[in-house]
Amino acid sequence: MPNDLSLTAERTIELIDRDLSFLAFNRRVLSLSQQSSIPLLERLRYLCIVSSNLDEFFEVRASLHLSASKSDVQNFQYSSESYINLSLAAHELVADQYRIYNENLIPAFAKKGIHILGYNERDAEQTAWVKRYFDQEVRPLLIPVGLDPAHPFPQVANKSLNFIVRLKGKDALGRQNEIAIVKVPRVLPRLVKLPPKVSKNQTLLISLSSIIRAHLKDLFEGREVVHFSQFRVTRNSDLSVDEEDVRNLRTALRQSLEHRHYGEAVRLEVSAGCTEYLSDFLLREFDLPREALYPVSGPVNLVRLNQAIDLVANPALLFKPYSASFPLQLNPSASIFDQVSKGDVLFHQPFESFDGVLAFLREAVNDPNVLAIKQTIYRTGSNSELMDLLRQAVIKGKEVTAVVELKARFDEEANINWADRLEQIGAQVVYGVVGLKTHGKMLLITRREGKYLRHYAHLSTGNYNPMTAKLYTDISFLTKDPAITADVENIFIHLASQSTLPKLKTIWLAPFELQNKLIAIIDRVAKGVKAGVEGRIVLKMNSLTDERLAYALIQAARWGVRIDLIVRGACILPAQVPGVSERIKVRSIVGRFLEHTRVFYFRTGEEESLFLSSADWMNRNMLRRIELVWPVKDEKLKRRVIDECLVAYLLDTKDAWELGANGEYTQVIAKATEPALSAQQALMGRYAARSI
């Protein structure tokens, strides 16, 4: 039985810590910033991506460990020990980041005539220009706050740039208040490009922190600046709303957003030269242990170095532009409804463009025979043609139902605004099921065809976001299959009315049955192997952190199933451990595009099953979200998905890393006699060739 399979392996092997595994993933991303074969500005971008990932990690995950370390309530997952282990790994990663920035990237930029000028590197003419810039653009927006009983420590927003200053002498009233805080407004650019007249035929950039540092004394006339440091505090930003106890979730979330920037502090970044006196002062102020202190040799916010990419504006230092082809299975000059009526359609983003989804919705909006459109909204972005098309559909008199996930982390505000705009013109806007996030990606079109109403569905492994569709690998799937579209219709009815969900014919749905269905099919493959039939499992996903599923895979491998896991990010399953998981291989692909497809393949003898999904194998996806798994039935499409999403990635010897029995990832190196193979590059070449 399903439960037997996952429980049999439990307690026989220790799983990998999910948060440490996530930090290990960021090490793999960071490695790209060191590869000389990658264009220089792209290397900088990877460095910034790691910083952005760490910001979100501290905002969401690290706070759980920190809170446990301060509390008497601790467990095997969150405790003082887990917090210390996590801090050690994070400190090592951050130290490597700044080492790469200072020792690799800065010299590499210098060779290209690109310099981020430090405080002591500017000549007289450049110093004068910076002084004028400070006086005209920066100083008017700065208000130093000297701390005393009437001026307590100011509210410091999450991830904002600030300075702490220690002063000598007395203030204007003769008091010896020695600490002052300077908050830096977010509206100021973090990098400034010097004009040609003072840059001497080079690209010269100056950080805002360097500009302010050079003129701190100007903010404190009559006082001596003894010590100072830039600092940045990261706060717990995971919104918490009791859905059972609010009348209007949208209103409650909007109110919670106002306080997100001032949650519990979890990390403090300061300059490497910050004195112990000042760092201790800040740690006390933010109630943080010393493990939360991160002294850095450079800007406290590497994310904002992304601005350098636009300021340098040198195409030779970027990846060659890739223009995705229109989905090759579709004829753009013919009706998409007619084409889908002849068979399922599948396209592989970003190698094929998201324009296929927009074209499908655009045709539906303008087709007088289309009566209703239903869609889930998770991350569409603040500017979205797709959302504008939904608004046009309402205006044209079609019934539009939007299931808007207001709790999509860090996209809450954009989704609230879209919900407002859709409701104002008459769309039916609902927020799914209380206590669950609607993460499944579904679009259902109801169309009159003669005497009958027909359904057309779009399902996707990724978001309805044209911008991320250029960067994330995903599968879009169009179908008129009556079984699949009937299931999608029933799911929409359930999300809107919260009525009892009828038994679905084809789709597996979380949180109701997905985890058990996956364990059952793993069990079926394992039992087939025990009976002497060959069994094979190949899975591709972003994360594998669900313990039941991990143990089920381990037990299946023990029974003889050969298993390949292509897991981009965190993976708690220890691979290739003798006597336990030697039949399981785990690899991670980290390349130009963010691997985002979820593809699940199971084979018992000659019987093959292939599924696509919106869900990673994480506990939250299985038990706390609305997620979809649907089958690929068409044999030609099945072979295509296996070839492009599984086989190509298992053969990758350029962007692949493999997890060893020691719990460490090692980069896969091609044999000296063979060329390195990149699945992403091969797919780019395949679709570029087919689009000519």
CB within 8 Å of 531: residues ≥ 6 apart: none
Q: If residue 620 lies in a helix (H) or strand (E), which one and from where to where?
A: helix 619-623
What DSSP string runs through 484-506?
A: HHHHHHHHHHHHHH-PPPPPPSS
Q: Is 407 in a helix, a strand, or coil?
A: coil
Beta bridge mates, 245: none
Tokens 């399922």 sit on residue: 344
CB within 8 Å of 106: residues ≥ 6 apart: 116
Q: What angle do CA 97, 24, 29 make, to 5 degrees?
A: 55
DSSP secondary structure code for residue 654 in this structure: S
Q: Which residue in 413, 58, 381, 423 sits closest to 255, CA to CA?
A: 413
Q: Is 227 within 8 Å of 249 (Cβ atoms)? A: no
Q: CA-CA-CA-CA torsion for 44, 50, 51, 56, nearest 10 degrees?
A: 150
The Cα 509–Cα 15 span in angstroms is 26
DSSP secondary structure code for residue 153 in this structure: P
Q: CA-CA-CA-CA torsion for 220, 222, 228, 234, nearest 10 degrees?
A: -30
The Cα 131–Cα 138 span in angstroms is 10
Q: Which two three-digit tokens encode residue 267?
A: 């990390």
Q: Considering the candidates 439, 455, 458, 596, report the single residue annotated as catalytic.
A: 439
Known active-site residue 596? no
Q: What angle do CA 204, 208, 211 make, to 5 degrees?
A: 80
Q: Is 630 within 8 Å of 506 (Cβ atoms)? A: yes
Q: Which residue in 518, 386, 399 sits closest to 465, CA to CA?
A: 386
Q: Which two three-digit tokens encode residue 299?
A: 């800007």
Give the CA distances from residue 45 to residues 29, 35, 302, 309, 525, in Å, rounded to whole numbers and listed in that order.
10, 13, 10, 8, 42
CA torsion through residues 94, 100, 102, 106, sign: negative
Q: Which residue in 536, 519, 532, 517 sits closest to 585, CA to CA?
A: 536
CB within 8 Å of 307: residues ≥ 6 apart: 189, 190, 191
Q: Where are the alpha helices (DSSP H) in 425-535?
A: 482-497, 514-530
Q: If residue 567 lies in a helix (H) or strand (E), which one and from where to where?
A: strand 562-567
Known catalytic residues are 439
